Amino acid sequence: EAQVTQNPRYLITVTGKKLTVTCSQNMNHEYMSWYRQDPGLGLRQIYYSMNVEVTDKGDVPEGYKVSRKEKRNFPLILESPSPNQTSLYFCASSFLGPTGNSNQPQHFGDGTRLSIL
């Protein structure tokens, strides 16, 4: 089954304790992206990757790191989490940028709810 898998799905942690949210896709997609979703603010792009070893900032990259060492994985790293990073996070992937292609649009994971106390 084609899917984007995020782990963990839920996490409660404390300020300053480094954490990593993993994202893995099994569709051989070149493009992967991270978004955060907050009430009243919609979805905001954190980082994206057009291909292996190619990453770029989205609109809200501060406080986050990413890496793309292999095609299927795109982890999101919070080196020193703070309460303002409490949010719902989505990873997404597609063959060709955020537009996908005519048959396969950008596919989202199920989301990771982070609470940072």
Closest CA to 97 of 53, 45, 42, 32: 32
Q: Are 64 and 47 in contact (CB under 8 A)?
A: yes
CB of 45 to other proteins, least distance (A): 6
Tell me if 1 contacts other proteins by CB under 8 A: no
Q: Say whether residue 50 binds other proteins (CB under 8 A).
A: yes
Residues in region 80-99 near other proteins by CB under 8 A? 90, 97-99
For residue 45, which amino acid is it?
Answer: Q
Q: List contacts with other proteins (CB under 8 A).
A: 31, 33, 35, 40-45, 48-50, 56, 58-59, 90, 97-100, 105-106, 108-111
